[in-house]
Structure 1
Amino acid sequence: MAGRLAILCPGQGAQHPAMFDMARMDSTANRLLDAWFADPALGATLRGGLGEERFTNRIAQPAIVAATLAMWGALQATIARPALVAGYSIGELSAYGVAGALEPVDVIKLAIERARLMDACVVDGAGQGMVALSGMPSGSIDDLLARCGFYPAIVTGDDALVAGGPAERRAELAQAAIAAGGHATVLPVAVASHTPMLAGAVAPFAARLADAHWLTPAFPLLSGISAEPVFDAYKAVAELPRQIAEPIRWRECMDALTEAGVTVALELGPGAALSRMLQSRNPGIACRSVSEFRSLDGIRAWLERQLD
């Protein structure tokens, strides 16, 4: 029986100056990138993704979306049709471009607006930040977050999550997690994504999505806040804005891929965090990231072998 393919769209954290290079090996994707970089509304932002500003929210979100969609443009005509697509954080917006529900250039513009609205929620003198926690003892996470003024942002495993809260207490949270027997990593992010601290961005982003030109997705997507499949614009407009200020259930999204019978998963990059998480949670799914290959032909050949 033929395998079932899932496409994974990454969030922030692994962006780098060469993240567009492999997509440019394909003439179609190269033309897309040239057009985006020449666009007055997009070019300066995307060029920022190649430099030291690539970790700032306003640059990172659209640059990652552009890199993801460029890679999809390089591959989509020559690989099997996906059964599902799932995106992590800003990657959920990319997923709508992958599924054809929104035009890629519109997705990048929406990413610019999403980042702007999220940044506007950061009050001067009250910075925000995020910390990744893992290996936490059972029952310890909720109390630890409450004591440090943090919220669950992305649930990634049974004993792991990303938390968002006040920037000045990131070190305190990390130290407390380590003292409790877990692991902690302070992330290079300046907003507390997927927490109530960004509630002010939800309604205006919902209005922008409602005004967008939506098409029927070519295949279903997974909603980050519910881990349920999305088949139409109505559910997209209802749930995609909410994930700005509500926790992402990535653990449940990974389980939903398994339940859907997915046998192969390809992460579009940059980075390989999603494919590694999914492989760890379900070793029966063959998982790779495009960042692990040297060429587009290598990606295609691997997919053909896995999906036979």
Structure 2
Amino acid sequence: MSTSTAFIFPGQGSQSVGMLADIADVEPVVNETLVEASDVLGFDLRNMILNGPAEQLNSTQNTQPALLAGSIALWRLWSARGGQVPAYVAGHSLGEYSALVAAGVIEFADAVRIVHNRGLYMQEAVPQGEGAMAAVLGLDDDKVIALCAETAHPGEVLSAVNFNSPGQVVIAGSASAVKRAVETFSAAGARKVMPLPVSVPSHCALMEPAAVRLEQDLAGITFSVPQIPVVQNVSAAIVTDVNALRANLVDQLSQPVRWVESVQLMIANGVDQFYECGPGKVLAGLSKRIDRSATVTPLESLSAFPMVGEG
């Protein structure tokens, strides 16, 4: 096992119609993984991924299994080509499920079902239009946390939910509070406050009803001891206890993603090469802003994979 590599798996926002199409055309393991996910769900997820329409793919209950399937397809291809086993795995938000599958903690089929339901529960937890998210650029974490507390009115939810990179924090909560935050955060010195095109206010207290339903689902599937160390979002720590792994997935729905700390922990433990295992390059960009010395290779092109036997 290498002591210098880590696989990081992306979350929502990395999806696009046609993602992985070029690889799926020439690598049977990728196509087979997309078909397997379709069979689990009982509808043609593979066709939705490759051909759209975008409106369906971007519906959160479809986005989540689509990204999981795409990430695990690339993970399986890496393994089939004799790629090096990483020292650590981690995933951003939804991506944590891909990391747990890669680490042997949960079975792929179970994960596909769980994240499909997770998307439904998240959508149903907050009526359309009542929740929102925004990205805040140019303020430090403590300032964002303090401004959330100052900006929210009684009865509203507003919190810092994704600590993505230094100077980039995502806030989420009641739509009225997020709308107000665009003005108050700018006045407080934020370089930019950008409302995000999402229908679900992830990782805040509004997701607690979804977390209750998710906990019931997770109780019904088997968790195994990780074969590769997993760094989880909620704790930004390496977690090996199966009960803690399960509990952290529940808490993750309503608590922040501590991505900066997660990446810093892996670097502190000797990681100098990251592979972004999934569509897009979102995490590559974040990781470089967290630590400029980090090398991040997106695995969305066949050229990034070893030839068979190269390891």
Normalised TM-score (structure 2): 0.87
**Inter-CA distance 168–20: structure 2 relative to 1 (3 Å threshold):** farther
Say if 2:104 is the partner of 1:100.
Answer: yes
Q: CA deviation at 1:285?
A: 2.0
Q: Is the 8 A contact 1:8 1:275 kept in 2?
A: no
Q: Deviations over 1:12-47 (max 9, x none)?
A: 11211121324413222222222333x162434554
Change (3 A) 1:289 1:42: farther
- Residue in 1 aligned with 2:37? 36
Superposition deviation, residue 177 in structure 1: 2.9
2:304 aligned residue (288, 298, 301): 298
- For the pair 1:145 / 2:148, whether they are aligned, the reply is yes
1:159 matched to which residue of 2?
Answer: 167
Pairwise CA distance, 1:173: 2.3
| Rounded Cα–Cα distance in structure 2 between residues aligned with 1:119 and 1:232 | 30
The answer to whether the 8 Å contact 1:46/1:59 transfers is no
Q: List runs of 5+ in structure 2 lacking aligned partners.
A: none
Spell out, residue by residue over 1:195-223, the C-alpha distance to the aligned partner (whole angstroms, 9 max, x if none).
Answer: 00111122221221121122332201111
Choose the corresponding residue for 1:84, options 78, 85, 88. Answer: 88
- Which residue in the other structure is 2:185 paired with? 177
Task: State, as a whole percentage, how many aligned pairs show the same letter.
Answer: 26
Partner of 1:247: 256
- Give the 3 Å change call, closer, same or farther, for CA 9–137 of structure 1 in structure 2: closer
Matches within 5 A, 1:273-284: 273-284=282-293
1:196 matched residue in structure 2: 205
Spell out, residue by residue over 1:168-196, the C-alpha distance to the aligned partner (whole angstroms, 9 max, x if none). 45443234333433222222221111100
CA distance in 2 between counterparts of 1:209 and 1:129 reads: 26
From 100, 104, 109, the counterpart of 2:113: 109
Structure 1 range deviating more: 110-119 or 46-55: 46-55
- Partner in structure 1 of residue 272 of structure 2: 263
Report if the CA contact (8 A) 2:6-2:86 is conserved.
Answer: yes
Aligned to 1:70: 73
Determine the C-alpha separation between the residues in 1 that align with 2:181 and 2:48. Answer: 31
Amino acid at match of 1:181: G
2: CA distance, partners of 1:245 / 1:11 = 16
Aligned pair count reads 298
Distance 1:23 1:70, change over 3 A: farther
CA distance in 2: counterparts of 1:48 and 1:128, whole angstroms: 27
Following the alignment from structure 2 to structure 1, what is the Cα–Cα distance between the partners of residues 58 and 214?
22
Letter in 2 for 1:159: G
Query: What TM-score do the two structures reach when normalised by structure 1?
Result: 0.88
What is the rounded CA distance, in whole Å, between the counterparts of 1:56 and 1:230 in structure 2? 31
Aligned partner of 2:88: which letter?
L
SS at match of 1:265: strand
For the residue of structure 2 that corresponds to 1:144, the secondary structure is helix
Secondary structure of residue in 2 paired with 1:120:
helix
Letter in 2 for 1:51: P
Aligned residue identity for 1:178: S
Tell whether the 8 Å contact from 2:96 to 2:233 is kept in structure 1 after alignment: yes
Report the 3-state secondary structure (helix = DSSP H, G, I; strand = E; otherwise coil) of the residue aligned with 1:35: helix
Measure the CA separation in 2 of the matches of 1:289 and 1:154: 21
Residue 51 of structure 1 is matched in structure 2 by: 53
Residue 19 (1) aligns with residue 19 (2):
yes
CA distance in 1, matches of 2:217, 2:193: 35
Residue aligned with 2:125, SS: coil
Which one-letter code corresponds to 1:193 in the other structure?
Answer: S
Q: Secondary structure at the match of 1:241?
A: helix
